[in-house]
């Protein structure tokens, strides 16, 4: 965590005042690889005169390959088979299917639906349920949708256990 003194030091060195803090969520591939091995194997550099540090070779979705020191990487990333609900939700917003490993039902997963913030024409069933006319503009905000055990789908609201669990994973 950055404390006030660290933030003040950062801002005193900035060309724009004040520096803004960021938090990010990326899904990437990584493998343990010390720095010298990365430089030698990936970058083709001679490392005979260098001391090495533990770290990770990182491959981003656009194909960019880099190296990250072990502590820095492990502070920023965690395996996708042990995510908290916040990280799982961010993955769902990026189009991934998410599920809890603790769920009993086979084939269950959750997806993020963008909704219809500009509205869509109301069908007969929806119009009747909401007291609208068929064809009226029906506005629907984003929501989560679950695939149930029986193959059906429904809107979904997580339980308190779901939101506090750290057994979320991406379903491929």
Residues 64 and 107 reside in one and the same domain: no
Q: Is residue 109 part of a domain?
A: yes
Interval 47-61 mean pLDDT: 94
From its phi and psi, is residue 149 left (phi > 0), alpha (psi between -120 and 50) or beta? Answer: alpha
ω before 93 within 30° of 0 (cis)? Answer: no
Domain shared by 53 and 71, yes or no: yes
User: Are 44 and 64 within one domain?
Assistant: yes
Question: Residue 143 corresponds to which tokens in the numbers above?
Answer: 């929501």
Closest CA to 42 of 61, 22, 26, 56: 56
Q: Residue 112 has what pLDDT?
A: 98
In a domain, 6, yes or no: no
Of the candidates 27, 62, 77, which is a domain's last residue?
Answer: 77
Residue 7 confidence (pLDDT) above 70: no
Confirm whether 108 is domain-assigned.
yes
Based on the fold, state whether residues 64 and 146 are members of the same structural domain: no
- pLDDT score of 1 more than 50: no
Q: Please state, in angstroms and rounded to a whole number, the distance separating the CA atoms of residues 78 and 84.
A: 10
Q: Which residues contact 63 (CB under 8 A, 6 or more apart)?
A: none
Q: Which two tokens stand for residue 162?
A: 């779901």
Structural domain count of the chain: 2
pLDDT for residue 4: 65
In a domain, residue 1? The reply is: no
- Note down the domain range covering 110: 81-171
CB atoms within 10 A of CB 92: 20
Q: Judge whether 9 lies within some domain.
A: no
Q: What is the pLDDT of residues 22-51, one digit of tens each?
A: 777 788 899 999 999 999 999 999 999 999
Residues 118/121/124/128 CA torsion (nearest 10 deg): 40
Shared domain for 87 and 134, answered yes or no, is yes
Condensed to tens digits (0 to 9), the pLDDT of residues 81-140 reads 889 999 999 999 999 999 999 898 889 999 999 999 999 999 999 999 999 999 999 999
| Domain C-terminal end among 54, 77, 100 | 77
The model's pTM is: 0.73
Q: For position 105, what pLDDT does the model report?
A: 84
pLDDT at 81: 84
CB 150 within 8 A of CB 107: no
Residue 51 lies in a domain: yes
3-state secondary structure of 51: coil
β-bridge mates for residue 8, sequence order: none
């Amino acid at each position: 965590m950055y404390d006030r003194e660290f933030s003040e030091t950062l801002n005193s060195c900035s060309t724009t005042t004040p520096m803004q803090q960021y938090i990010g969520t990326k899904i990437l591939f990584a493998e343990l690889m010390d720095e010298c091995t990365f430089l030698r194997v990936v970058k083709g550099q001679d490392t005979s005169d260098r001391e090495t540090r533990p770290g990770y070779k990182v491959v981003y979705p656009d194909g960019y390959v880099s190296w990250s020191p072990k502590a820095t990487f492990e502070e920023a990333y965690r395996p996708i088979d042990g995510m908290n609900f916040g990280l799982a939700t961010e993955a769902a917003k990026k189009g991934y299917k998410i599920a809890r490993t603790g769920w009993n039902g086979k084939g269950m997963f959750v997806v993020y639906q963008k909704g219809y913030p500009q509205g869509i024409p109301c069908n007969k069933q929806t119009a009747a349920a909401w007291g609208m006319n068929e064809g009226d503009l029906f506005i629907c905000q984003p929501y989560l949708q679950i695939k149930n055990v029986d193959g059906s789908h429904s809107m979904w609201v997580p339980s308190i256990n779901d939101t506090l669990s750290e057994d979320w994973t991406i379903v491929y």
